[in-house]
């Protein structure tokens, strides 16, 4: 499955939708989408991973950077739509409990925008 | 998965691999056993595409390594990890840079991301905190674990281990064995282990293959190999000096050689 990424922003909340395989060669694109939000200091970032078929260590490490940003700046960094493959990759690196994980992007956005 | 078909490799008059057929299943640990000169390392070189065979094929997930062009071969090699016999760490780089090396060479991943990946891999081998040490400051067992972290850093689909426990004390051997088994299970990868160490082999193997002068003389589970009636297998697994596997490498009679030269 080829890699695709797109992003939108609503009410100072960044939403990134990722599809396909996130590996050593595609994860820099995910980072490129994330960094501007971190630098600008938006209210929060939601990463929709429902279309991700595979994620390797570099993908996980890229998401960890989002988590580092959120902890440092007291912002929200939310992952949504995680399939078993991504959940397994997170649990393998013992990081499955540290992320804010929601089932659905719309619900995550609603929760975040009401804050 | 790796499939080997009718593989032949000769060095001069010596047939190192003699029409070999075998497969290495995904999610399994396969241990290749054999004495010195049995063809283990030659097979490893063909499996990794480091050497071309005289004939036959090696398929990695359906791609024939023996006919693949350089670009394709390099792409496939990124999916392979290798733990070398002597760990092969770079003495002039600290532990962090040793593990980060493949990422810096083959990808454009940012430093901050590399740092997280290295930390994750060091956690897997139980060596977080050693990042700034130099290889010379580590024990042999720790060096093997760093080598393993480096072998895993690109998230390979297959890891080759060349005598991973040689020269290690029993506890370090146990630690490496456990890591090989656990990581294989957790990551659902293919593990190919070349070994001499029978105890270690019986602990980690799902499948065992015994090579003898370029031929596979036995293949099977630990139980099947333990119960093999083949005298060569029995001699090998029991480490008996006398038996059908000769100690000497030449067929020429010793007295003939001494008396009639």
Residues A6-33, mean pLDDT to the nearest whole number: 94
**Could you tell me if B1 and B76 are in contact, meaning their C-beta atoms sit under 8 angstroms apart?**
no
Map tokens 């036959």 to a residue. B56
Give B154's contacts in chain A (Cβ within 8 Å): 24
Could you state, in order of their start, the residue ranges of all structural domains in chain B? 2-79+205-260
Task: Give the whole-number percent of chain B exceeding pLDDT 70.
Answer: 97
Count other Cβ atoms within 10 Å, centred on residue A81: 20
Distance from CA of A63 to the nearest CA of B (A): 9
Tell me the residues of B at the A interface, defined by beta carbons under 8 Å apart: 78, 103, 106-110, 112-114, 116-117, 120-121, 123, 153-155, 186-187
Provide the CATH topology of domain B2-79+205-260: Rossmann fold (3.40.50)
Q: How far is CA B109 from the centre of its chain?
A: 28
Q: Please give the tally of structural domains in chain A.
A: 1
Alpha helices in chain B (DSSP H): 40-47, 70-77, 95-106, 111-124, 140-152, 170-187, 198-204, 222-226, 231-238, 254-259
Distance from CA of A28 to the nearest CA of B (A): 6
In a domain, A108, yes or no: no
Distance in angstroms (rounded) separating the CA atoms of residues A45 and A34: 8
Distance in angstroms (rounded) separating the CA atoms of residues B215 and B42: 12
Query: Residue B183 gets which letter from DSSP?
Result: H
In the predicted model, is pLDDT for residue B238 greater than 80? yes
**Could you tell me if B87 and B42 are in contact, meaning their C-beta atoms sit under 8 angstroms apart?**
no
B116, B154, B187: residue with CB nearest A61: B116
Task: Give the whole-number percent of chain B exceeding pLDDT 90.
Answer: 56
- Closest residue of B to A66, CA-based? B113
In a domain, A110, yes or no: no
- Closest residue of B to A62, CA-based? B113
Tell me the residues of A at the B interface, defined by beta carbons under 8 Å apart: 23-25, 27-28, 31, 56-58, 60-62, 64-65, 92-94
Per-residue confidence band for A40, with pLDDT thresholds at 50, 70 and 90: confident
Best probe of the A interface among B105, B110, B125, B189, by most A CBs < 10 A, is B110
Burial of B85 (0-12, 13-18, 19+ CB in 10 A): middle
ipTM, two decimals: 0.93
Distance in angstroms (rounded) separating the CA atoms of residues B209 and A81: 43
Compute the half-sphere exposure of residue A60: CA atoms within 13 Å on the CB side of its CA.
27
Residues A73-77, mean pLDDT to the nearest whole number: 89
- What is residue A113's predicted lDDT score, i.e. its pLDDT? 86
Distance in angstroms (rounded) separating the CA atoms of residues B111 and B199: 41
- Which pairing describes strands A76-80 and A44-55: parallel, antiparallel, or unpaired? parallel
Distance in angstroms (rounded) separating the CA atoms of residues A99 and A78: 7
Count other Cβ atoms within 10 Å, centred on residue B108: 10
How many CB pairs (< 8 A) connect A and B? 47
Boundaries of domain holding A57? 4-103
- What is residue B39's predicted lDDT score, i.e. its pLDDT? 87
Model pLDDT for residues B101-136, shown as the tens digit of each residue:
999 999 999 999 999 999 999 998 889 999 999 999
Q: What's the CATH number where A12 sits?
A: 3.30.750.24
**Could you tell me if A49 and A82 are in contact, meaning their C-beta atoms sit under 8 angstroms apart?**
yes
Give B186's contacts in chain A (Cβ within 8 Å): 92
Compute the half-sphere exposure of residue B182: CA atoms within 13 Å on the CB side of its CA.
11
B78, B112, B117: residue with CB nearest A57: B117
Q: How far is CA B254 from CA B38, B46, B246, B249, B259, in A?
A: 22, 35, 13, 11, 9
Beta carbons of B103 and A24 less than 8 Å apart: yes
Would the pTM of this model clear 0.90, i.e. be above it? no
Burial of B84 (0-12, 13-18, 19+ CB in 10 A): middle
Three-state DSSP state, B41: helix
- What is residue A73's predicted lDDT score, i.e. its pLDDT? 86
- What is residue A2's predicted lDDT score, i.e. its pLDDT? 85
Q: For chain B, give the mean pLDDT.
A: 90
């Amino acid at each position: 499955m080829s890699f695709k990424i797109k992003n939108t922003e609503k009410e100072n909340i960044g939403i990134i939708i990722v599809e396909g395989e996130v590996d050593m060669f595609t994860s820099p694109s995910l980072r490129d989408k994330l960094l501007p939000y971190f630098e600008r200091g938006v209210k929060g970032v939601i990463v929709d991973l429902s279309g991700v078929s595979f994620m390797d260590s570099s993908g996980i490490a890229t998401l960890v950077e989002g988590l580092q940003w959120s902890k440092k700046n007291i912002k929200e960094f939310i992952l949504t739509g995680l399939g078993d493959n991504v959940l397994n990759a997170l649990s393998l690196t013992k990081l499955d409990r540290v992320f804010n994980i929601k089932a659905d992007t719309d619900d995550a956005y609603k929760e975040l925008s009401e804050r | 998965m790796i499939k080997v078909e009718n593989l032949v490799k000769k060095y001069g008059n010596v047939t190192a691999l003699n029409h070999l057929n075998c497969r290495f299943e995904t999610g399994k640990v396969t241990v290749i056993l054999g004495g010195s000169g049995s063809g283990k390392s030659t097979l490893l070189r063909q499996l990794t595409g480091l050497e071309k065979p005289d004939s036959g094929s090696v398929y990695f997930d359906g791609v024939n390594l023996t006919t693949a062009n350089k670009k394709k071969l390099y792409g496939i090699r990124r999916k392979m990890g290798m733990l070398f016999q002597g760990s092969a760490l770079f003495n002039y780089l600290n532990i962090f840079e040793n593990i980060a090396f493949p990422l810096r060479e083959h990808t454009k991943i940012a430093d901050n991301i590399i740092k997280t990946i290295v930390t994750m891999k060091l956690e897997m081998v139980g060596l977080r905190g050693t990042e700034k040490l130099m290889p010379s400051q580590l024990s042999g067992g720790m060096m093997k674990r760093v080598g393993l972290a480096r072998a895993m850093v690109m998230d390979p689909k297959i890891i080759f281990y060349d005598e991973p426990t040689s020269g290690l004390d029993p506890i370090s051997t146990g630690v490496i064995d456990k890591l090989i088994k656990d990581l294989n299970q957790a990551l659902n990868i293919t593990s190919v282990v070349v070994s001499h160490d029978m105890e270690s082999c019986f602990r980690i193997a799902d499948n065992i293959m015994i090579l003898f002068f370029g031929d596979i003389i036995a293949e099977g589970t630990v139980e099947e190999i333990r119960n093999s009636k083949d005298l060569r297998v029995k001699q090998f697994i029991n480490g008996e000096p006398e038996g059908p596997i000769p100690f000497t490498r030449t067929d020429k009679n010793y007295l003939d050689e001494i008396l009639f030269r």
